[in-house]
Amino acid sequence: MFKQPSILLLASTIALSSLSACNGFRQEKVQVSSGEQLAAHTKPSVVRIADGCQGKVYWRGNHKTYEVDNIALGSGYFVNANGYIVTNAHVTENSRDEDNCKSELWKSFIYQLAKDYDKDPAAILRDAEAMQKIAQNAQTSDYEAIRLVFLPTGDKLPFETKIAGKPVGEGKDVAVIKVEVKNAPVLKLGDSEQVQLQDHLTVAGFPGAGDSGVLNRKSAFVVSFTDGKLSAKKTTEDGAPVLQVSAPATHGNSGGPVLDDRGNRRIQKLN
């Protein structure tokens, strides 16, 4: 079961296009003049991110081992050819807070256990005595933090968090992570002040709404593009610039780029 990050459309940086060809990535140098060319120019730089934890819980009551996970899915994009990726801080939050991630794994176990015994999981979680008895008869094992970046090719690489801000509402929701790769195709950051109200924008990423049981595995790594406009410029309580975008973006888009139509400009989308 995957948990998706919550959504808030924000943007604070603009990027100047300088996409480089690289080993392991297919990317054509094109003159951006249409939506189709813009998408082709951008796809190699956008990645999917999975972050969280997983483990197992053995329940003596029915001698069954439950597999549990707490994994958030988000998007990001390369800003450095040596594998540095910008995303949202909340996309990488689960694995950085081990205690909370373990707590979520325990809740996942309770929900599965309640289903097997046809009980209300919420009622069990509220019952301190029941929770204590369950804990006495359960054994956790194989805890593992999940920090993975999926390239457009479908290849996956472990990542390391280099810098992380605070989640939405607590500070600047930005993180920089790194994977071991060379000559990655880059979207360089620039000045967000160049974006004007009602400018046409394109959201790139991996919306959770696109995940469906009818799609094959390869489709999970196909970048989605949706259109909208810059509807407002605002500021957070701590002074960070906020760009409100009308483009529809669902869970899973968090951390992906927003692109304008000028061909050599990119806006980072912090959602």
User: What CATH number does the domain containing 236 carry?
Assistant: 2.40.10.120
pLDDT in tens, 203-215: 899 987 555 555 5
pLDDT in tens, 119-159: 999 999 999 999 999 999 999 999 999 999 999 888 999 99
Q: Residue 216: which residues within 8 A CB-CB, separation 6 or more?
A: none
Least confident of 28-42, 70-84, 206-220, 251-265: 206-220
Q: Residue 165: which residues within 8 A CB-CB, separation 6 or more?
A: 89, 171, 172, 173, 174, 175
Q: Residue 28: which residues within 8 A CB-CB, separation 6 or more?
A: 40, 41
Amino acid at 25: F
The pLDDT of residue 264 is above 60? no
The pLDDT of residue 243 is above 90? no
Identify the pLDDT of residue 265: 54
pTM, two decimal places: 0.80
Q: How many distinct structural domains can be found in the chain?
A: 1
Identify the pLDDT of residue 35: 79
The pLDDT of residue 9 is above 50? no
Per the structure, the complete domain to which residue 66 belongs is given by: 2-270
